[in-house]
């Protein structure tokens, strides 16, 4: 009995211990399960904290960008980079809603993450990102997101592709769908100053866009909108600083800064660039006839042509008034000529209400070819443009190198040609005297200007015995003062100097008995006198190649403003301004000297006569400037 009782007691204790172990084991399992759950919750909370931290860092990055005054383009690129690389989205693009006049609204790509499928789609439709226009459809989910200003999420990736690339065929879309891993996308609308800016489109591997993610994207969009607004304002201020307000072209300051940079690059790489200088023809006539508002329309029309014809790297600028420049990096003279002619034709084809057609005169100069100095290059381009005006407007002229415009050397060579080829009737004695003077200048290489004045005086005395020594010098001084008052380019002043030396050389061919006749000339004799500009231009000077630019000035130096001059009855602005100066200066000196049939007039009498013919024989503004010069310049011998 005692043994069985002891065993019973032992079994009871064993059962008690087993029960205790079971109960404790159950407690341990519960604790273990709770630990597992706690660890999972800690991991989830850690992940959420990391996401929150990433969200804070992302929003902080946008905030820092907003305060950095970055250009808008850079800011949008950085925003895409943050979403793509830091937030882990497969694909990100920012689209801007464009509303151009007379055109359907569309979405342009302002920034995009690197994406093989997107690039393949662009290649397939044969376009590039900068030129691609996505049709804007109001009832699409992009249109709804922008209109309702809500984040629109979808798992319909195929429809998204069709919306972005309506040109793709079904086969191409299906091919993309087999390779794309994205399962959802979101369209996040953006505003700028309470106006629709566009949207951000993101694609994700996740099956859906969660509420937490939506909240983040909402915060992110708000930050982006602030950043875009600040950047846009910065861009606008910057644009105003470098842009001409009337035309939207670059202003003179911006042009001058960039031509310096381009010249430095050109010299470093030994690569030319070209400059097109352009001037609207007859702006004053447009303003006087139709009003300045139509003059502004004509100016803006030329600006629009330049915007359309210029490449993205070109710099079109309004220099002032009706003057424009176009900088063509990396373009030689031949390329610039093609561009200039294309621009000229485009301007000529413009038709403006009320005004009708307009034209422009254009000059072309190339850095390293025509000059390696910026100031000289711009002057040469202006001179070429002015040459286009002198030769009839609505044309393109190429600049000549600065060295070609040594007016004194050209004059010396011209007199050598005239005498050696016996183009005018000169006695052997006079010819010998002139040759001696010319040879002395060539040997000594000095006093060439005074020698030229002396030679012109000698030749003038052949047909006019009362022509005083020193008169040519006074004529040239007065003509030069008037040209500078008119702000003519230096090259045109050089041509004017040559014209003053040569314009009356045709008189050497007029019979002496007519030119020095004391009695009034008959009508027939007057007609003979009128031939001297044509004789000078077409018979004496035409064979001399160096002065072909001077011939139009000389041939037109007896044309009157109202068309009653000779030999071609030109009118108004069709007469070269240099020809008008020659006529005015010649008339002044003719009236200030004795003639066989009258005595000389004094300066006041001459001014009254000239004023009386203002607007008929002379350009009115030219008369005003001429009178101003006469009354204010005292360092010139006018008699």
Question: Is beta strand 396-398 parallel, antiparallel or unpaired with respect to 360-366?
Answer: parallel
Euclidean distance between CA atoms 503 and 639, whole angstroms: 19
- Whether the pLDDT of residue 612 is over 50: the answer is yes
What's the pLDDT at 39?
60
**Do both 461 and 584 map to the same domain?**
yes
Domain boundary at 194, 214, 242, which? 242
- Looking up tokens 């005692």 gives 2
**Do both 54 and 94 map to the same domain?**
no
Q: What is the mean pLDDT of residues 505-515?
A: 72
What's the pLDDT at 203?
92
pLDDT band at 20 (very low <50, low <70, confident <90, very high): low
**Do both 137 and 283 map to the same domain?**
no
Positive or negative: CA dihedral 12, 18, 22, 27? positive
**Which helix (DSSP H) or strand (DSSP E) does residue 150 occupy?**
none
Q: Does the residue 638 lie in any domain? A: no
In order, the DSSP letters of 352-408 are ETTTEE--EEEEEEEBTTTBSSHHHHHHHHHHHHHHHHHTTSSSEEE---GGGG-HH
Summarize pLDDT for 71-130 with one digit per residue, the tens: 667 778 888 888 888 778 889 999 989 876 557 889 989 889 888 888 888 888 888 888
Euclidean distance between CA atoms 375 and 275, whole angstroms: 12
| Residue 12, domain extent | 1-67
Domain boundary at 403, 428, 462, which? 403
- Whether the pLDDT of residue 361 is over 90: the answer is yes
CA neighbor of 506 nearest in space, from 465, 462, 568: 462
The tally of domains found in the chain comes to 4
What's the pLDDT at 400?
74
What's the pLDDT at 26?
55
Q: What is the mean pLDDT of residues 229-243?
A: 66
Q: Are 604 and 593 in contact (CB under 8 A)?
A: no
What's the pLDDT at 430?
83
What's the pLDDT at 251?
92
Summarize pLDDT for 194-230 with one digit per residue, the tens: 778 889 999 998 888 888 788 878 877 777 777 666 6
**Do both 93 and 41 map to the same domain?**
no
Question: Three-class SS of residue 509?
Answer: helix
Euclidean distance between CA atoms 431 and 429, whole angstroms: 5
What's the pLDDT at 207?
85
CB atoms within 10 A of CB 65: 22
pLDDT band at 639 (very low <50, low <70, confident <90, very high): very low
Q: Are 583 and 557 in contact (CB under 8 A)?
A: yes
- Say how many residues make up the chain: 639
What's the pLDDT at 520?
74
- Whether the pLDDT of residue 376 is over 80: the answer is yes
More confidently predicted of 75 and 515: 75
Q: How far apart are the first and last CA of the chain?
A: 169
Which of 32-41, 358-367, 487-496 is the least confident region? 32-41
Angle between helix axes 2-66 and 72-81 (nearest 10 degrees) is: 170
**Do both 48 and 162 map to the same domain?**
no
Summarize pLDDT for 522-535 with one digit per residue, the tens: 777 777 777 766 77
Summarize pLDDT for 33-71 with one digit per residue, the tens: 666 665 665 556 555 545 554 555 554 555 555 454 556
Rounding to the nearest 10 degrees, give the CA dihedral for residues 85, 91, 94, 100. 160
**Do both 43 and 84 map to the same domain?**
no
Mean residue pLDDT of the chain comes to: 81
Which of 235-249, 318-332, 379-393 is the least confident region? 235-249
CATH of the domain at 340: 3.30.70.270
**Do both 600 and 617 map to the same domain?**
yes
Strand spans (E) along 284-372: 315-320, 323-328, 351-352, 356-357, 360-366
CA neighbor of 122 nearest in space, from 106, 110, 109: 109
What's the pLDDT at 357?
93
What's the pLDDT at 315?
94
**Do both 13 and 107 map to the same domain?**
no
CATH of the domain at 555: 1.10.3210.10
State both tokens at 245: 């307000």
What's the pLDDT at 50?
52
Q: The whole model's pTM is what?
A: 0.42
Which percentage of the chain shows pLDDT scores above 90?
Answer: 27
Give the 3-state DSSP-derived string for 167-203, with helices as H, strands as E and coil as C.
CCCHHHHHHHHHHCCCCEEEEEEEEECCEEEEEEEEE
CA-based R_g, the chain, Å: 42
Euclidean distance between CA atoms 182 and 158, whole angstroms: 11
pLDDT band at 293 (very low <50, low <70, confident <90, very high): very high
pLDDT band at 235 (very low <50, low <70, confident <90, very high): low
Phi, psi of 592 (to 5 degrees): -85, 0
* Peptide bond before residue 567 is cis, with ω within 30 degrees of 0: yes
Q: Does the residue 82 lie in any domain? A: yes
**Do both 52 and 24 map to the same domain?**
yes
- Whether the pLDDT of residue 556 is over 80: the answer is yes
More confidently predicted of 191 and 338: 338
What's the pLDDT at 252?
92
Euclidean distance between CA atoms 273 and 331, whole angstroms: 5
What's the pLDDT at 102?
59
Domain boundary at 403, 425, 448, which? 403
What's the pLDDT at 394?
94
State both tokens at 398: 């190429």
């Amino acid at each position: 009995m005692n043994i069985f009782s002891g065993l019973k007691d032992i079994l009871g204790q064993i059962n008690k211990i087993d029960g205790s172990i079971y109960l404790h084991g159950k407690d341990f399992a519960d604790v273990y399960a709770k630990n597992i759950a706690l660890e999972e919750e800690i991991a989830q909370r850690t992940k959420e904290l990391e996401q929150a931290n990433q969200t804070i860092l992302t929003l902080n990055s946008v905030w820092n960008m907003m305060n950095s005054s970055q250009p808008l383009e850079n800011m949008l690129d950085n925003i895409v980079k943050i979403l793509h690389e830091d937030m882990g989205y497969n694909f990100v693009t920012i689209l801007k809603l464009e509303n151009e006049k007379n055109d359907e609204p569309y979405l342009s790509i302002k920034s995009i993450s690197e994406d093989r499928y997107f690039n393949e789609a662009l290649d397939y439709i044969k376009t590039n990102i900068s030129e691609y226009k996505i049709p804007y459809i109001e009832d699409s989910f992009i249109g709804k997101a922008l209109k309702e200003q809500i984040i629109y999420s979808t798992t319909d990736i195929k429809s998204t592709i069709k919306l972005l690339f309506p040109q793709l065929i079904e086969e191409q879309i299906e091919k993309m769908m087999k390779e794309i891993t994205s399962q959802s996308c979101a369209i996040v609308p953006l505003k700028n100053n309470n106006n629709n800016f566009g949207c951000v489109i993101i694609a994700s591997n996740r099956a859906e866009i969660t509420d937490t993610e939506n909240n983040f994207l909402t915060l992110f969009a708000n930050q982006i909108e602030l950043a875009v607004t600040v950047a846009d304002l910065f861009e606008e201020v910057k644009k105003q600083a470098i842009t001409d307000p009337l035309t939207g072209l670059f202003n003179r300051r911006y042009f001058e800064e960039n031509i310096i940079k381009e010249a430095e690059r050109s010299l470093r790489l030994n690569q030319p660039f070209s400059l097109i200088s352009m001037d609207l023809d007859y702006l004053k006539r447009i303003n006087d006839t139709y009003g300045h508002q139509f003059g502004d329309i004509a100016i803006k029309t030329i600006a629009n042509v330049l915007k359309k014809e210029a490449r993205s790297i070109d710099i079109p600028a309004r220099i002032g008034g009706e003057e424009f420049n176009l900088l063509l990096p990396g373009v030689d003279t031949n390329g610039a000529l093609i561009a200039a002619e294309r621009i000229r034709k485009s301007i000529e084809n413009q038709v403006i209400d009320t005004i009708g057609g307009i034209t422009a005169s254009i000059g072309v100069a190339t850095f390293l070819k025509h000059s390696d100095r910026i100031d000289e290059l711009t002057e040469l381009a202006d001179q070429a443009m002015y040459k286009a005006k002198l030769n009839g407007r609505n044309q393109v002229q190429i600049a000549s190198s600065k060295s070609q415009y040594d007016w004194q050397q050209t004059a010396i060579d011209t007199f050598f040609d005239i005498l050696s080829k016996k183009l005018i009737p000169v006695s052997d004695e006079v010819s010998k005297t002139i040759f001696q003077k010319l040879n002395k200048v060539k040997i000594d290489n000095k006093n060439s200007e005074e020698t030229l004045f002396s030679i012109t005086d000698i030749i003038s005395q052949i047909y006019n015995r009362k022509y005083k020594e020193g008169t040519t010098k006074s004529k040239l001084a007065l003509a030069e003062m008037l040209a500078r008052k008119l702000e003519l380019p230096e090259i045109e002043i050089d041509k004017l100097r040559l014209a003053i030396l040569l314009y009356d050389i045709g008189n050497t061919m007029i019979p002496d008995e007519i030119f020095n006749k004391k009695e009034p000339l008959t009508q027939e004799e007057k007609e003979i006198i009128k031939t001297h500009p044509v004789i000078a231009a077409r018979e004496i000077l035409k064979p001399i190649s160096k002065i072909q630019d001077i011939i139009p000035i000389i041939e037109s130096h007896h044309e009157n403003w109202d068309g009653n001059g000779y030999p071609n009855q030109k009118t108004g602005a069709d007469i070269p301004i240099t020809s008008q100066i020659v006529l005015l200066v010649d008339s002044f000196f003719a009236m200030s000297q004795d003639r066989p049939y009258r005595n000389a007039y004094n300066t006041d009498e001459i001014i009254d006569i000239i004023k009386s013919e203002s607007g008929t024989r002379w350009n009115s503004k030219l008369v005003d400037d001429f009178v101003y010069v006469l009354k204010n310049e005292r360092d010139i011998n006018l008699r």
